[in-house]
């Protein structure tokens, strides 16, 4: 996210995750400078989902070449402004040397709310009501549908129904982003093929590209785990 050249010796790396319905920013700070770093703080600019730190950043004084890893719980009660891409987050990190700025992107699989499970009849009626359907394909998916379902559930993407049609298995999922946008998904697994077709319907088409990316990341990740 931030390299030492742009961070005046500070390196910042990280990922985002959704644990128990809460969004975490998992950070690693490394001091590549010749002097110690201290007095760390973090702040976000306005963003699409109103993400903001829920607590102060806990980073001890870092001697040269030392690293520290920490998890920062985020709320979605902050100021909202539309970003492009929607998951873009502009971050300011302060220490005793300077205020440093960088941008990162929060993947949609970390932004799904815990109450995104839709009952079957509502799913069917909503699917019929939405005309536009975005279809994409993910290659090299070797994981079973059960493994995929478990991986999706861990990201608050809920299985609504599953049915076998000839040589296909279709899984229907629902999720709701932290800003209330509901997304319906249909994953089609073809017997003898490692390609999975992903169909997405939502009343907010702007979220589709990043949702497609999130689903691909989940499918590729669970396949890599099953192959290991």
- Report which DSSP code applies to 62: B
Mean pLDDT for 51-57 is: 94
Structure tokens at 45: 């600019």
Query: Tell me, what's the pLDDT at 21?
Result: 80
Average pLDDT, stretch 1-30?
Answer: 93
Name the percent of the chain lying above pLDDT 70.
99
Segment 99-147, tens digit of pLDDT: 999 999 999 999 999 999 999 999 999 999 999 999 999 999 988 999 9
Number of Cα atoms under 13 Å in the Cβ half of residue 227: 10
Give residue 226's pLDDT: 63
**For position 19, what pLDDT does the model report?**
87
226, containing H or E segment = helix 208-227
Query: Cα separation of 85 and 208, whole Å?
Result: 11
Which pLDDT does position 222 carry in this prediction? 85
So what's the pLDDT on residue 165? 86
pLDDT in the model for residue 223: 84
Q: What is the pLDDT of residue 181?
A: 94
The CA-based angle 186-89-50, given to 5 degrees, is: 80
Compute the distance between CA of residue 198 and CA of residue 184 in angstroms, rounded to an integer: 10
DSSP 109: G
Q: Where are the beta strands (DSSP E) in the chain?
A: 10-19, 22-31, 41-44, 52-53, 67-75, 88-94, 99-105, 134-138, 158-165, 168-176, 182-190, 196-201
- Residue 166, pLDDT above cutoff 90: no
Among all chains, which residue has been given the structure tokens 């003898």?
192
Average pLDDT of the chain? 93
Give per-residue pLDDT as tens, 56-94.
999 999 999 999 999 999 999 999 999 999 999 999 999
- Residue 127 region by backbone torsions, left for phi larger than 0, else alpha for psi between -120 and 50, else beta: alpha
Average pLDDT over residues 11-19: 94
Residue percentage of the chain with pLDDT more than 90: 89
Q: Of 136, 137, 152, 130, which is closest to residue 204 (Cα–Cα)?
A: 130
Task: Read off the DSSP letter of residue 132.
Answer: -
pTM above threshold 0.95: no
Residues 6+ apart with CB under 8 A from 201: 126, 127, 130, 132, 133, 134, 183, 184, 185
Interior/surface letters 16-53, b for 16+ CB within 10 angstroms, e for the rest: bebeeeebbbebebbbbbeeebeebebebbebbbbbbb
């Amino acid at each position: 996210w931030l390299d030492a050249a742009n961070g005046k010796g500070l390196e910042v790396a990280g990922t985002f995750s959704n644990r128990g319905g809460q969004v975490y920013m998992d950070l690693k700070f490394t001091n590549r400078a010749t002097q110690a770093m201290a007095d760390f703080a973090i702040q976000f600019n306005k963003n699409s989902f109103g993400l903001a730190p829920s607590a102060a950043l806990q980073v001890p004084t870092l001697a040269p070449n030392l690293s520290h890893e920490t998890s920062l719980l985020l709320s979605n009660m902050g100021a909202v402004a539309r970003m492009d891409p929607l998951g873009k987050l502009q971050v300011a990190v302060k220490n005793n040397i300077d205020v440093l700025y960088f941008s990162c992107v929060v993947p949609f699989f970390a932004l799904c709310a815990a109450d995104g499970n839709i009952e079957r009849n509502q799913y069917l009626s909503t699917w019929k009501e939405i005309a536009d359907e975005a279809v994409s394909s993910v290659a090299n998916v070797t994981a079973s549908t059960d493994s995929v379902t478990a991986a999706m559930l861990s990201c608050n993407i809920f299985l609504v129904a599953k049915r076998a049609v000839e040589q296909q298995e279709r899984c229907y999922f629902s999720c709701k982003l932290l800003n209330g946008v509901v997304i319906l998904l249909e994953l089609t697994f073809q017997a003898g093929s490692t390609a999975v077709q992903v169909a997405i319907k939502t009343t907010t088409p702007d979220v589709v590209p990043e949702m497609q990316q999130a689903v691909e990341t989940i499918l590729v990740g669970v396949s890599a785990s099953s192959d290991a």
